[in-house]
Amino acid sequence: MRQKLLSEGAKELSYEIREIVKKANILQKEGVDITWENIGDPIQKHAQVPEWIKDIIQRLAADNNSYGYCDSKGVFKTRKFLAQKNNQHGGAQITADDILFFNGLGDAISTLYHYLDATSRVIGPSPAYSTHSSAEAAHANHQPLTYKLDPKNNWYPDMQDLRNKVEFNPNVVAILLINPDNPTGMVYPKEILDQIVQLAREFDLMLISDEIYHHITYNGARAYALSEVIGDVPGIAMKGISKEMPWPGARCGWIECYNRDKSLEFDQLCNALDDAKMIEVCSTTLPQMAIPEILGDPRFYEYREKLNEETGWRSTFIADTLSEVPELIINKTYGAFYNTIVFKEGVLRDDQSLEITNPQAKVRVEEWVEDVPLDFRFVYYLLGATGICVVPISSFCSDLLGFRVTLLEEDEELLKKTFTQIRDSIREYLDS
Amino acid sequence: MRQKLLSEGAKELSYEIREIVKKANILQKEGVDITWENIGDPIQKHAQVPEWIKDIIQRLAADNNSYGYCDSKGVFKTRKFLAQKNNQHGGAQITADDILFFNGLGDAISTLYHYLDATSRVIGPSPAYSTHSSAEAAHANHQPLTYKLDPKNNWYPDMQDLRNKVEFNPNVVAILLINPDNPTGMVYPKEILDQIVQLAREFDLMLISDEIYHHITYNGARAYALSEVIGDVPGIAMKGISKEMPWPGARCGWIECYNRDKSLEFDQLCNALDDAKMIEVCSTTLPQMAIPEILGDPRFYEYREKLNEETGWRSTFIADTLSEVPELIINKTYGAFYNTIVFKEGVLRDDQSLEITNPQAKVRVEEWVEDVPLDFRFVYYLLGATGICVVPISSFCSDLLGFRVTLLEEDEELLKKTFTQIRDSIREYLDS
Amino acid sequence: MRQKLLSEGAKELSYEIREIVKKANILQKEGVDITWENIGDPIQKHAQVPEWIKDIIQRLAADNNSYGYCDSKGVFKTRKFLAQKNNQHGGAQITADDILFFNGLGDAISTLYHYLDATSRVIGPSPAYSTHSSAEAAHANHQPLTYKLDPKNNWYPDMQDLRNKVEFNPNVVAILLINPDNPTGMVYPKEILDQIVQLAREFDLMLISDEIYHHITYNGARAYALSEVIGDVPGIAMKGISKEMPWPGARCGWIECYNRDKSLEFDQLCNALDDAKMIEVCSTTLPQMAIPEILGDPRFYEYREKLNEETGWRSTFIADTLSEVPELIINKTYGAFYNTIVFKEGVLRDDQSLEITNPQAKVRVEEWVEDVPLDFRFVYYLLGATGICVVPISSFCSDLLGFRVTLLEEDEELLKKTFTQIRDSIREYLDS
Amino acid sequence: MRQKLLSEGAKELSYEIREIVKKANILQKEGVDITWENIGDPIQKHAQVPEWIKDIIQRLAADNNSYGYCDSKGVFKTRKFLAQKNNQHGGAQITADDILFFNGLGDAISTLYHYLDATSRVIGPSPAYSTHSSAEAAHANHQPLTYKLDPKNNWYPDMQDLRNKVEFNPNVVAILLINPDNPTGMVYPKEILDQIVQLAREFDLMLISDEIYHHITYNGARAYALSEVIGDVPGIAMKGISKEMPWPGARCGWIECYNRDKSLEFDQLCNALDDAKMIEVCSTTLPQMAIPEILGDPRFYEYREKLNEETGWRSTFIADTLSEVPELIINKTYGAFYNTIVFKEGVLRDDQSLEITNPQAKVRVEEWVEDVPLDFRFVYYLLGATGICVVPISSFCSDLLGFRVTLLEEDEELLKKTFTQIRDSIREYLDS
């Protein structure tokens, strides 16, 4: 090539959650039977989209209009529906013009960070979800900035850490929340949200709230929407249908911009996002057309309630089962469909192992565990010995050691078997 | 806000094609009946998606798997199908791994330019399609770089101009083709493609070919795919289903990377695009699943042939009708569904006008024509006087004066009426 | 111009210390007699360069070799002399190759910050010396990063503030000291230097120590060179002859790089500085040739001792005189030749004034005091009423309110008159 | 280090002219006697600064004011003197405010390019003088942009090449001239300057003219100052005393800004340069004070005339001597004190050599000639065989093969011997 092609920022792109999949695929070829506990896709974990929802989609698929472009900001009727839905909370009020559709939140996230000035940083939670942390790092050509979620305190944010990192780093212009949180399953209590809003107000920041799991709460919790707590602070909520309907394959998400009238600069940023989408013409039409019909149907909330209840049951079963290992820090979860299990300090060593019966798998795992963080070591041994695939937590921009599991397995017997096996394997590993 | 939010590059985002829509909407509110000749969406111009295609989509909508995430590069089966399809040409050969799905070409374009180094420029045709030119300009924080398409020579590229701009600007790393071209309807002859490939080889460039209209040719033309002519030069073809099926609302497009083994840097760029998509998880699933079924069905090619024939007829009618005005440069078109009409030099003046009977519309238009390029002046008067909405060509990064029309109107009588009226209005305007 | 010329960083260039000069010049033209207490140039404040030093310079001016280029890093003999001088302390050891001459420290500072990556920040003291803070801000296209010097604690650094800003901002790669400090006259105690070195070691930072006033200490203090305390941490000391000889007009300063072998990246930075100087060929020759003769002469240290004693006397007189105003925070100084006087919180208001007898000057000052920080208001009134020109402290990137004076006035009567008048004017101003 | 320190641009810093010195030093240690024909420093080539000039400097060295800072833009009296001097030509008129002093032109060059936006490029001549080309490349993080000087046409610029590179690269905002030129000795004829000014006007560019050798012309030529030809185009002339007095060790040069009132953006750039110098306080004082006394003295012009005559004689002798080798392209020179000798195409091969009698030197040279451009090969053999050190021309951003010599040797016998030896060695080398 005539000169260098790649931008420096491209080096920051990584999504380690998917790296473990490559390893699992290798072992699968060697004959290991894999249990995919790494995947946040309900569909792959046997969730069934309800028939009445499929009926709506099929009906729309017969309508010629579903095939055309829509308004570059998104289908007007849908945006109006969503604005009303938000406004019912009585918090920050919006109109259809304050909503912008994207091809899933990944698109929204990339675009938002891309058009921020390189010197303007967004601080987000650690453990971090890579879609946010990689895109933000790529925009700044620098490692991600994170505040700590504390596993010893229900995974609530370490507010002092957050305040310090905001106060002492003048490049921070926004605080990111994921609420309910991936990968911890934590749901932000209102008091903490109020403190974060206050912090943003004090330092003239905007707020970004990823609310993709908003309707997925259980065990008595409910998630507060950003608009309910934000007051007069500028902010963006990110929402979508991937997890709740669930329809991740639709790539259909949107942002809601609150308090555009409170800051000219914030308003200009929102306009730039509109412009950026306009040069791509628009986002997916058909799923947008389905939203008012589905989210406006009372069956949707009954359906979600039932699913949430089941997720809650699984969450409790998993937490109870793994709590039998005293070397672990276990938190019950209240939202989303992950749990993050942390090993207490000092319990992992670089000479622990599990017995792997498949000889080829044994060779592979023993190669992989050279020079990796201690949680990767455990995860590789677990994979080789049992075929259970979980994600090491140190790949989420965290200095904790542990792993993420999902709460998605709909087959109760399989769930019980898997987590019993995880528990027993941890015991064996720690005692080895 | 604590500090400036927006990147400098955000200033380059503009999509003037959509600006004329705002003007038309204003006149519509004033009572003017608008004929939308500006829109490149077949669906909005009354095209019907064939029932057998809708049947396929509906069937997939009943399948739970359509709702899940797919492989981050795209559905494997579909990529394999497309690789085979490409390989049949006998040109540059690829595998499923050389294909990457995006949420429409707008997404592909933004992502590609975003991860190019800011000093690495892509030169594209003028008149320019804004999705390319704005995204490229935003990445470089600089005005778009373009080579001229020559209306006096069938809109073929001015090869000397292209060579000069490549040879004398060492920041150029890639040449972009849109083939068939939007907005000119030109289809690149093989000899010209061979020259461009040779130019790329000589200066160590890569090629980017937007082939979204690949199967939309008529009047005896056929479009050569990049892979047929590229030889050993690294390059990327951009393809999709928006225009040909047509299903623009699907936001489903893909890139094919040729000759990754010929340049390490090019290969790294392709890998970075994979990584960028991975952090967004994947692109739309259902449309990808439909591709092998639809494009693998012989009915698809019969259907396209019929549509192409009709487009060819309309193209000829429009060219013949407007050719009656000797002050225009008219080219017959051979692909895509636009024609770009250019006024000969000197025929437009800033005192020409059309009679506008609606008094509010008259006031508006007279305000708008202050200090605008002469083709905007004509376009505004045409809009006010007749309600026909076309796009001025100077908004396509061009110093030509003229306008773009579409060849999409399926209602023959309406088509005839519209273009007769355009012809007569031009006559009246030029004589005023 | 064809496109925008100026870089974004250029906006950060400001040197407000010089802005007050423009105001003073205006009043001078209106007939006000100015006493320049703003200037850190001993020569302009009547210091005489000793005859024996002038003799050396004159002798060199007769030598043809003084007129030629020298080695691009600086005259070898001089660098060897300076390396030995540094090595006598017994701290970090260097050779002539670790020294690089610049055209004054302004040149050294601009060049160093220029070749740091834009994401790599240097944190320095506030009140800040503009040459450092503007150049660093311009390189990062962002406001300067500073840690607080505390006027209530002898202007020592607020170590907790410094630690916080280092710990919580991962872009900080270096800590800057000015020792002795301009504008506070503080000299860093060894314990504090040790803490700063420890902080740098803990966070893998380099240290930059501006030691232009190294030999200007009094009132019992002595300044520790960076090399005495740095241990194995990479660091750069900045030295020169502007203030100590004094020969500011020579534009002759140098950097000493410590522990290049301890960090490859630091070593590469030092090499880049060599390269940057090489493309400018070299720095001023004659002053470099004079250095071993002057600094190697015992008369130099006797001469400095006498000057320091006098500066100490003036420092004490000024501090004692101004201490009579209880609304001020006054620190005795121990090095350099400035003092920074701070108004206690709340004592300045926007309705205070001094009587200005010159009517034109009165009009000017009343215009200037609209919408300025409260210390600017005081400084303008003092200038209009008495002709005494001092620099407001809020122009040193500080949120304190106060002003900087110099300790340079060699005419004792004038000194006494000036500072008595400042004291009385403050009294009058505060009581107004 | 905590994160990467060096900016990308730092990679562009190189000054290959100095690289040959390292090689020569190595051979010197091996016992080879070096004749330094690479150095553009008259002082090192035995030029004597006239006694009357030294007297002025010595007198100033006795004046206390010579030691102080001066006005940040430079000594006012000197700037006024220089403005008048420029204005006498009757071209673009300036005042003292349009002049800004730097610490030599290296400083002026670095600062100017540093504060240009990274997307704004300056195109300069090739062969290129590294101080310009490296600094410009570093600012743009890209290879230097150059236009060709043509050895077959008196080293005049290839105007078509220049026009092409300006016309077809919209990032070019300025054309750089070095007049008289280093390293070719060419002096721009007025007709060519007029064409370049016209080109700048046509494309809305500014002009930069490095006039450091302005008074060094001979063989009947005279150099036109930029201000004489610039008309109403914005431009900057760079001037200094390094070569003409000669006093390179003074690091004293200045820029003159023409037509600031013709472009707001140009004016802002000039202001930014003022600001950049202000944060460094000022440039060297004493040499500035000497300028009106020396350049205002009629003896200066007599002295220069004599030196120029001698340089002209040497230029002619060298050109005549080397012209005896028909494989060379030789141009008589008219200004500055270099000549660039080019080998005709095809006469250099990678198996040519000279006999080197010093066995260690032979080993070294044979190592060095692996994988180097063919002119480097010749230069290394010449150095090893004869001790004569010249600079290969391919190190001046040129694709020509040849070498640069200086016209500075004041010892006539040594000059004759050196160039006779060069001629004979070339003959022997080409015949080997």
**What pLDDT digit, counting tens, does each position of B301-347 carry?**
999 999 999 999 999 999 999 999 999 999 999 999 999 999 999 99
For C104, name the nearest residue in chain D, comparing CA atoms only. D280
Per residue in A294-340, pLDDT tens? 999 999 999 999 999 999 999 999 999 999 999 999 999 999 999 99
pLDDT of residue B17: 76
* D307 within domain boundaries: yes
Query: What's the whole-number mean pLDDT along residues A358-379?
Result: 96
pLDDT of residue D402: 97
pLDDT of residue C43: 85
pLDDT of residue D351: 96
Per residue in B99-118, pLDDT tens? 999 999 999 999 999 999 99
* D239 within domain boundaries: yes
Residue pair C149/C126 in contact by the 8 Å Cβ criterion? yes
Q: Is D195 on the interface with B (CB under 8 A)?
A: no
Say whether A54 and B61 touch across the interface (CB within 8 A): yes
Question: What does the block give as tokens for B23?
Answer: 């003007």
Whole-angstrom CA distances from C112 to C76, C213, C269, D178 are 22, 20, 8, 28
Q: Is the pLDDT of residue D178 over 90?
A: yes
* C324 within domain boundaries: yes
* A3 within domain boundaries: no
Q: Is D76 on the interface with C (CB under 8 A)?
A: no
Whole-angstrom CA distances from D94 to C102, D264, D281 are 31, 16, 23
* Measured distance CA(B206)–CA(B200) in Å, rounded: 6
The pLDDT-based confidence of C19 (bands split at 50, 70, 90) is confident
* Measured distance CA(A294)–CA(A272) in Å, rounded: 30
Q: Are residues D286 and D305 in the same domain?
A: no
The pLDDT-based confidence of C388 (bands split at 50, 70, 90) is very high
Partner residues linked to A311 by β-bridges: none
Q: Is A246 on the interface with B (CB under 8 A)?
A: yes
Residue pair C327/C347 in contact by the 8 Å Cβ criterion? yes
Nearest to A344 by CA among A391, A292, A402: A402
Distance between C264 CA and the closest CA of chain A, angstroms: 20
Q: Which value does ipTM take for this structure? A: 0.95
* Measured distance CA(B315)–CA(B332) in Å, rounded: 7
Residues sharing a CB contact under 8 Å with residue C74, sequence separation 6 or more, in sequence order: C99, C100, C101, C254, C282, C283, C288
pLDDT of residue A45: 82
Q: Is B120 on the interface with A (CB under 8 A)?
A: yes
Q: Is the pLDDT of residue B232 over 90?
A: yes
Residue pair C118/C140 in contact by the 8 Å Cβ criterion? yes
B363-366 contacts at long range (C-beta below 8 A, 24 or more positions apart): B364/B26, B364/B27, B364/B30, B365/B27
Residues sharing a CB contact under 8 Å with residue A59, sequence separation 6 or more, in sequence order: none
Say whether B248 and A48 touch across the interface (CB within 8 A): no
Residues sharing a CB contact under 8 Å with residue C347, sequence separation 6 or more, in sequence order: C327, C430
Report the mean per-residue pLDDT for chain D.
95
Among A249, A274, A297, residue at a domain's last position:
A297
CATH number at residue C276: 3.40.640.10
Distance between D121 CA and the closest CA of chain A, angstroms: 17
Question: What does the block give as tokens for C372?
Answer: 């300025």
The pLDDT-based confidence of A120 (bands split at 50, 70, 90) is very high
Dmax (CA) for chain A in angstroms is 65
Say whether A143 and D3 touch across the interface (CB within 8 A): yes
Per residue in B352-391, pLDDT tens? 999 999 999 999 999 999 999 999 999 999 999 999 999 9
pLDDT of residue D39: 81
Phi, psi of D189 (to 5 degrees): -65, 155
CATH number at residue A307: 3.90.1150.10
pLDDT of residue C162: 98
Among C268, C297, C326, residue at a domain's last position:
C297
Neighbours of chain A (3+ CB pairs under 8 A): B, C, D
The DSSP letter of residue A323 is T
Least CB–CB distance from D119: residue in C3, C116, C278: C3
Partner residues linked to C335 by β-bridges: C217
Tally B–D CB contacts below 8 A: 33
Q: Is the pLDDT of residue C306 over 80?
A: yes
Distance between B142 CA and the closest CA of chain D, angstroms: 7
Under DSSP, is residue D340 helix (H, G, I), strand (E, B) or coil?
A: strand
* B304 within domain boundaries: yes
pLDDT of residue C79: 98
Distance of CA A37 to the CA centre of its chain: 15
Report the mean per-residue pLDDT for chain B.
95
Per residue in D94-146, pLDDT tens? 999 999 999 999 999 999 999 999 999 999 999 999 999 999 999 998 999 99
Q: Is the pLDDT of residue B5 over 90?
A: no
pLDDT of residue C15: 75
Nearest to C400 by CA among C106, C169, C158, C137: C158
pLDDT of residue A39: 81
pLDDT of residue A86: 97
Question: What does the block give as tokens for A413?
Answer: 């017997």
The pLDDT-based confidence of C11 (bands split at 50, 70, 90) is confident
Residues of A in contact with C146 (CB under 8 A): none
Task: Tell me what percent of the residues of chain B surpass a pLDDT of 70.
Answer: 100
* A378 within domain boundaries: yes
Q: Is B139 on the interface with D (CB under 8 A)?
A: no
Question: What does the block give as tokens for D267?
Answer: 């004016």
Q: Is the pLDDT of residue D15 over 80?
A: no
Q: Is the pLDDT of residue B96 over 80?
A: yes
Residue pair B110/B129 in contact by the 8 Å Cβ criterion? no
Q: Is the pLDDT of residue C380 over 80?
A: yes
Phi-psi region of B192 (alpha: psi -120 to 50; beta: other; left: phi over 0): alpha
Q: Is A145 on the interface with C (CB under 8 A)?
A: yes
Output the pTM of the full model: 0.93
Q: Is the pLDDT of residue C308 over 90?
A: yes
Distance between B145 CA and the closest CA of chain D, angstroms: 8
Q: Is the pLDDT of residue B13 over 90?
A: no
Per residue in C52-61, pLDDT tens? 999 999 999 9
Q: Are residues A207 and A334 in the same domain?
A: no
The pLDDT-based confidence of B9 (bands split at 50, 70, 90) is confident
Query: What's the whole-number mean pLDDT along residues B22-35?
Result: 94
The pLDDT-based confidence of A87 (bands split at 50, 70, 90) is very high
Question: What does the block give as tokens for B395?
Answer: 């908004």
* Measured distance CA(A253)–CA(A212) in Å, rounded: 8
Say whether B68 and A248 touch across the interface (CB within 8 A): yes
Q: Are residues B38 and B60 in the same domain?
A: no
Distance between B12 CA and the closest CA of chain C, angstroms: 14
Q: Is B3 on the interface with C (CB under 8 A)?
A: yes
Q: Are residues D323 and D290 in the same domain?
A: no
Q: Are residues C287 and C325 in the same domain?
A: no
Q: Is the pLDDT of residue B15 over 80?
A: no
* D369 within domain boundaries: yes
* Measured distance CA(A130)–CA(B98) in Å, rounded: 24
Element (H, E) at C288: helix C285-295
In the numeric block, the tokens 């101080």 are attached to D131
* Measured distance CA(C342)–CA(C340) in Å, rounded: 6
Cis peptide before D144 (omega within 30 of 0): no
Please give the tally of structural domains in chain D. Answer: 2
Report the mean per-residue pLDDT for chain C.
95
DSSP for A211-271 reads -TTTT-B-TT--PPPHHHH-TTS-EEEEEESTTTS--GGG--EEEEEE-GGG-HHHHHHHH
Pairing assessment for the beta strands B391-392 and B402-406 based on DSSP bridges: antiparallel
pLDDT of residue B10: 82
Cis peptide before B246 (omega within 30 of 0): yes
Q: Is C11 on the interface with B (CB under 8 A)?
A: no
Under DSSP, is residue C355 helix (H, G, I), strand (E, B) or coil?
A: coil
* Measured distance CA(D385)–CA(D429) in Å, rounded: 11
Element (H, E) at D175: strand D172-178
Q: Is the pLDDT of residue A79 over 90?
A: yes
For Cα atoms D69, C224, C268, give the angle at the middle one, nearest 5 degrees.
75
Element (H, E) at A99: strand A99-102
For C8, name the nearest residue in chain B, comparing CA atoms only. B8
Say whether A171 and C167 touch across the interface (CB within 8 A): no
Least CB–CB distance from B110: residue in A248, A280, A282: A280
Q: Are residues C73 and C105 in the same domain?
A: yes
CB neighbour class for B371 (10 Å; exposed up to 12, middle 13-18, buried from 19): exposed
Say whether B3 and A120 touch across the interface (CB within 8 A): yes
Phi, psi of D226 (to 5 degrees): -55, -40
Query: What's the whole-number mean pLDDT along residues A354-361?
Result: 96
Among A297, A322, A347, residue at a domain's last position:
A297
Q: Are residues A327 and A251 in the same domain?
A: no
Task: Count CB-CB contacts under 10 A for residue D22.
Answer: 8
Note down the domain range covering B205: 51-297
* Measured distance CA(C210)–CA(C222) in Å, rounded: 15
**What is the torsion angle, in degrees rounded to the nearest 10, for the CA atoms of residue A88, residue A91, residue A97 and residue A99?**
-90
Q: Are residues B328 and B386 in the same domain?
A: yes
Q: Are residues C309 and C179 in the same domain?
A: no
* D158 within domain boundaries: yes
Residues of D in contact with B203 (CB under 8 A): none
A:271-300 residues touching chain B, CB 8 A cutoff = 272, 275-276, 278-286
Question: What does the block give as tokens for B111?
Answer: 């992502």
Phi, psi of A172 (to 5 degrees): -70, 120
Q: Is the pLDDT of residue A4 over 90?
A: no
pLDDT of residue C56: 97
pLDDT of residue C38: 87
Q: Count the residues in chain C.
A: 432
Residue pair C27/C388 in contact by the 8 Å Cβ criterion? no
In the numeric block, the tokens 């082939």 are attached to B211
Per residue in B243-265, pLDDT tens? 999 999 999 999 999 999 999 99
Q: Is A143 on the interface with D (CB under 8 A)?
A: yes
Q: Is the pLDDT of residue B70 over 90?
A: yes
Q: Is the pLDDT of residue D343 over 90?
A: yes
CB neighbour class for C264 (10 Å; exposed up to 12, middle 13-18, buried from 19): exposed
Q: Are residues B105 and B136 in the same domain?
A: yes
Question: What does the block give as tokens for D178?
Answer: 């070095």
Query: What's the whole-number mean pLDDT along residues A48-60?
Result: 96
Residue pair B1/B346 in contact by the 8 Å Cβ criterion? no
Per residue in C181-222, pLDDT tens? 999 999 999 999 999 999 999 999 999 999 999 999 999 999
Cis peptide before D373 (omega within 30 of 0): no
Residues sharing a CB contact under 8 Å with residue C128, sequence separation 6 or more, in sequence order: C144, C146, C396, C397, C398
Q: Are residues D89 and D110 in the same domain?
A: yes
Residue pair A40/A212 in contact by the 8 Å Cβ criterion? no
The pLDDT-based confidence of A357 (bands split at 50, 70, 90) is very high
Task: Count CB-CB contacts under 10 A for residue D202.
Answer: 12
Residues sharing a CB contact under 8 Å with residue C406, sequence separation 6 or more, in sequence order: C37, C38, C39, C40, C45, C337, C338
Q: Are residues D84 and D19 in the same domain?
A: no
* Measured distance CA(D114)–CA(C37) in Å, rounded: 34
* Measured distance CA(C171)–CA(A172) in Å, rounded: 11
